[in-house]
Structure 1
Amino acid sequence: MEALRERKRTEAEAIGVDAEYISSFVERFYGKIRKDELLGPIFAERIGDWAKHLDRMKGFWRSVLHASGEFAGNPMIKHIAIPGLEERHFAHWLQLFYATLREEEPQTEATQEVANRARMIADSLLTGIATQRKGLAGARAGEKLPKL
């Protein structure tokens, strides 16, 4: 397992996705989220300690992009518990995410890799929520989510 983690981290760092890159985009992205009219209130209602949340999200993205294994939690349960969360929220989240990535570097392998992972996560969460609410009829919920 340690060899896999090292390989994933090395591959990510080779295209510029190192710990500093992750920290920077997480800080900038959640700065946008906090000011956003649609998503800001949803986050503000649930997050009391932003420094703690940012540290947690940096660990999450290091786990996703470096296979660090440091994130422990269940994002699906957290998102299912948010009433009214639907496709438009995830689509908007992705648009803000993509805009944040483009600010740093308009189009690189790193940008594309991180964007692809974000879209897979949004699709998975949206599909899980839709399936929870609508049964199998919700299983294709994320098909219309934007791509970079």
Structure 2
Amino acid sequence: MNTSATQERTRDQVARIRAAKRAKAVAVGVDEAFVSQLVEGFYAAVRDDDLLGPIFAQRIADWPQHLDRMKRFWRSILFNSGEFSGNPMLKHMAIPGLEERHFARWLELFYAQLRTLESTPGAAPLVGRSARMIADSLLTGIATRRSGLAGSRAGGNLPHV
């Protein structure tokens, strides 16, 4: 089999998948401007939050850089853009004391920001489902690392959008 032809087909398939995911998001009003406003507003609320603010203040020295990174992350999630590289699981595992209440509060603030931006009915469910899956995955990974398989049931009480 021709490796070059296989690589070309793979690139074409990836491009089609990315275009379809982007079109689905844009159809409900989720575009780059939406992602930017979501990230900016959400992290403004996080910084002011009594529970989450101190955790972030201890770890984020350069907020503009962090916001740019989070915008790349969310564009990668929502549009399958492929522009984010990193390991959020390792970053979150390194934070001592993270519990379900932290992830629940993170989601509450995220959902509140989503509701302020939603221009069409499908935006909040689309973005909110992704946020909840991410929170659940991070919480489960942290709990499993701490408690083994017993921790794999974490996240069942996280709020939904």
Give TM-score scaled by structure 1 length. 0.97
SS at match of 2:156: helix
Q: Which amino acid letter does the alignment assign opposite residue 139 of structure 2?
A: L
* Structure possessing the higher radius of gyration over alpha carbons: 2
Q: Give the distance between the partners of 1:142 and 1:99, measured in 2 at CA.
A: 19
Give TM-score scaled by structure 2 length. 0.89
The question of 1:120 aligning with 2:141 is answered: no
Q: Give the distance between the partners of 2:35 and 2:65, measured in 1 at CA.
A: 16
Residue in structure 1 matched with residue 76 of structure 2 by the alignment: 63
Residue in structure 1 matched with residue 149 of structure 2 by the alignment: 136
What per-residue deviation string (whole Å, max 9, x for no partner) do you get for residues 7-54 of structure 1? 111111111110110001100000000111110010010000000000
Q: Number of matched residues? A: 148
Q: Give the distance between the partners of 1:24 and 1:106, measured in 2 at CA.
A: 12
Residue in structure 2 matched with residue 99 of structure 1 by the alignment: 112
Q: Are the equivalent residues in 1 in contact too, given 2:29–2:123 (CA < 8 A)? A: yes
Residue in structure 2 matched with residue 45 of structure 1 by the alignment: 58
Q: Give the distance between the partners of 2:48 and 2:27, measured in 1 at CA.
A: 33
What per-residue deviation string (whole Å, max 9, x for no partner) do you get for residues 57-86 of structure 1? 000000000000000000000000000000
Q: Give the distance between the partners of 1:72 and 1:53, measured in 2 at CA.
A: 13
SS at match of 1:58: helix
121-130 vs 3-12, which moves further: 3-12
Q: Give the distance between the partners of 1:24 and 1:143, measured in 2 at CA.
A: 29
Superposition RMSD on alpha carbons, in Å?
A: 1.1
Decide which of 32, 53, 62 is 2:45's aligned counterpart. Answer: 32
Residue in structure 2 matched with residue 11 of structure 1 by the alignment: 24
Give unmatched runs, 5+ long, in structure 1.
Answer: none
Identity %, equivalent residues: 63
